[in-house]
Amino acid sequence: MKEKLIIFDTTLRDGEQSPGASMTKEEKIRIARQLEKLGVDVIEAGFAAASPGDANAIRSVAQVIEKSTICSLARATESDVRAAGEAIKPAKSGRIHIFIATSPIHMKMKLRMQPDQVVEAAVKAVKLALEYTDDIEFSAEDAVRSEMDFLVRIFDAVIQAGAKTLNVPDTVGYSIPALWGERIKQLIESVPNSGKVVWSTHCHNDLGMAVANSLAAVMNGARQVECTINGLGERAGNASLEEIVMAVKTRRDVFSCDSRIDTTQIVPASKLVSSITGYPVQPNKAIVGANAFAHESGIHQDGVLKHRETYEIMRAEDVGWSKNKLTLGKLSGRNAFRTRLQELDIVLENEDVVNNAFARFKELADRKREIFDEDLQALVSESVVAHVSEHYRLVSLRAHSETGLLPVAQVRLNVGGKEFVADSQGGGPVDATFKAIEQIVQSGIELQLYSVNNITSGTDAQGEVTVRLSKDGRIVNGQGADTDIVVASAKAYLNALNKLDSKAERAHPQV
Ligand code: KIV
Ligand code: ZN
């Protein structure tokens, strides 16, 4: 029997710290349900002290998830620990994750605290957290640049205070595998009672080594890895869950532990996170990229046809790649629609949202012969968003492009209940459409990113457009899907404007 490797997913917390990736409560619940299906052991659902909305989202996730432990992040302060403790209260199994920076540069320049004060704050916070749960994790932020003696001292102190999991983060993505493995080994050897706690690692990808560093930690005794779906996260992201899980599974000859992840749920989880956050997956991304199992060269194709294992170390179906599953068509009724949503674990509590999603489905089915699960996920996202806030709504769009002529677009919008029309020219039909929208809304935003991906294959597939807008330091991603990518673009733009309109300010845990 292999030892257990605990998978701690922080897509809903560290992943959410990616620019524009902030999620609504409903979106977090949808992702949490998929993480539970995937078999994630711990779901870090957010940072309760960030805002009342964040605390509420953690509480809602804690109410619906049964099999995974639900965790909230907290700084080592009384108010943060209490906010986290209250938020995880409804969970069947709840964890509080306390962190404080331990490197000289962070203690001096950011916290402006003496090392003794840092130890005191950590111990006090752990003891307070025990009022809410006995499952306490402690992280020494920026452990990579912390002094070994100080790490040993603070970890010893928090074990005595009651912490059960000790996390060693490479907060700035600075380490390299051999050094990181060595650091974990030394800590386990030097901290008194280290055998009574679970050692964990949390690596960022600034030098592209988050997964390699995490695996080095595992090879040296870490039994929890903190990671995110698609490697989403601050800056260059976190270690990617799918790569860690598949490395440990595929190279079982070198790892003495294994996770309990149902790997066939990996690709659906990747697609869901990508569609909700607006972060597309690059085609050559390991495991979940569209080309991860595609063999282009003739020699490779020939080898795979003769004997699959000549060029394949994993099977595409084992990580959830299957031919797009035909779900519904034009003649499918409301019952079939509802049943498929249930099978996908999509729970829509509000009847208006169900009606809206069904109307969108019928409209899509008129234009697209076959509707796949991915199409359903996209249209449900739109219906949920439409229900929460739609100050700006697309009424109609006409775009025209012809070789030799400047593309033009006419947009009709409903803004807070009133209709407005605008015409514009542009470099292309999408540009003309955005300019026409701006004539009406005059938002003053900056467009930071525009990208189009196909949701399924074929020329009748829906295009999923992501736009990233920023205004006054706030950044949001908007998504829109349609078989017409100009319409999808307009929807994405308006979705982002609606988010800018409605999203409240939140505190950032590390600032
Ligand atoms: O990167 C980091 O150090 C973190 C901690 C809060 C664990 O995200
Ligand atoms: Zn982090």
The 3 state secondary structure assigned to 413-451 is EEECCEEEEEEEECCCHHHHHHHHHHHHHCCCCEEEEEE
Given this model, what pLDDT does residue 323 score?
Answer: 58
- Comparing 148 with 329, the larger pLDDT belongs to 148
Residue 142 CA: nearest ligand 1 atom is 3
Answer whether residue 498 shows pLDDT above 70: yes
Q: Which of 426, 415, 423, 417 is nearest to 439 (CA)?
A: 423
Residues 239-266 have pLDDT tens digits of 999 999 999 999 999 999 999 999 999 9
Given this model, what pLDDT does residue 118 score?
Answer: 98
Nearest CA to ligand 1 atom 3: 171
Report how far ligand 1's centroid is from the alpha carbon of 448 (Å): 26
- Comparing 276 with 151, the larger pLDDT belongs to 151
Q: Running DSSP on this structure, what letter comes out for residue 240?
A: B
Answer whether residue 92 shows pLDDT above 80: yes
- Among all ligands shown, which has an atom nearest to the Cα of 47? 1
Rounded Cα distance between 55 and 405, Å, is: 53
Q: Does the beta carbon of 44 sit less than 6 angstroms from any atom of ligand 1?
A: no
Q: Does the beta carbon of 139 sit less than 6 angstroms from any atom of ligand 1?
A: yes
Q: What's the pLDDT band for 159 if we cut at 50, 70, 90?
A: very high
Report how far ligand 2's centroid is from the alpha carbon of 70 (Å): 17
Given this model, what pLDDT does residue 139 score?
Answer: 98
Answer whether residue 388 shows pLDDT above 70: no
Report how far ligand 1's centroid is from the alpha carbon of 239 (Å): 12
Instruction: Find the range with the poorest average confidence among 83-97, 116-130, 475-489, 491-505.
Output: 491-505
Residue 172 CA: nearest ligand 1 atom is 1
Residue 10 CA: nearest ligand 1 atom is 8
DSSP-derived 3-state class of residue 228: strand
- Comparing 277 with 297, the larger pLDDT belongs to 277
Write down the residue that tokens 């294992």 correspond to.
Answer: 309
> What sections of 3-147 are H helices per DSSP?
25-38, 52-64, 78-87, 104-105, 115-129
- Among all ligands shown, which has an atom nearest to the Cα of 141? 1
Beta-carbon neighbour count of residue 504 at 10 Å? 10
Give the bridge partners for 12, in sequence order.
Answer: none
80 φψ region: left (φ > 0), alpha (ψ -120 to 50), beta (else): alpha
Instruction: Find the range with the poorest average confidence among 91-95, 173-177, 388-392, 479-483.
Output: 388-392
Q: What's the pLDDT band for 295 if we cut at 50, 70, 90?
A: low
Average pLDDT for 334-355: 84
Average pLDDT for 493-500: 92
Nearest CA to ligand 1 atom 6: 99
Nearest CA to ligand 1 atom 8: 14
Residues 162-205 have pLDDT tens digits of 999 999 999 999 999 999 999 999 999 999 999 999 999 999 99
Q: Does the beta carbon of 99 sit less than 6 angstroms from any atom of ligand 1?
A: yes
**What CATH class has 389-501?**
alpha beta
Instruction: Find the range with the poorest average confidence among 22-31, 335-344, 404-413.
Output: 335-344
Structure tokens at 389: 């806030």
Residues 273-288 have pLDDT tens digits of 998 998 989 989 999 9
Answer whether residue 303 shows pLDDT above 80: no
Nearest CA to ligand 1 atom 1: 171
Q: Which CATH superfamily is domain 3-277 in?
A: Aldolase class I (3.20.20.70)
Given this model, what pLDDT does residue 335 score?
Answer: 86
Q: Does the beta carbon of 14 sit less than 6 angstroms from any atom of ligand 1?
A: yes
Average pLDDT for 201-222: 98
Angle ∠(478,455,230) on CA atoms, nearest 5: 70
Averaged pLDDT score across all residues of the chain: 93
Q: Does the beta carbon of 433 sit less than 6 angstroms from any atom of ligand 1?
A: no
Answer whether residue 350 shows pLDDT above 90: no
Report how far ligand 2's centroid is from the alpha carbon of 509 (Å): 10
Q: Give the rounded percent of residues in the chain with a pLDDT score beyond 90.
A: 75
Q: Does the beta carbon of 10 sit less than 6 angstroms from any atom of ligand 1?
A: no
Q: Does the beta carbon of 141 sit less than 6 angstroms from any atom of ligand 1?
A: yes
Domain boundaries along the sequence of the chain: 3-277, 292-316, 325-386, 389-501
Are the folds of 3-277 and 389-501 the same?
Answer: no
Nearest CA to ligand 1 atom 4: 171
Report how far ligand 2's centroid is from the alpha carbon of 202 (Å): 7
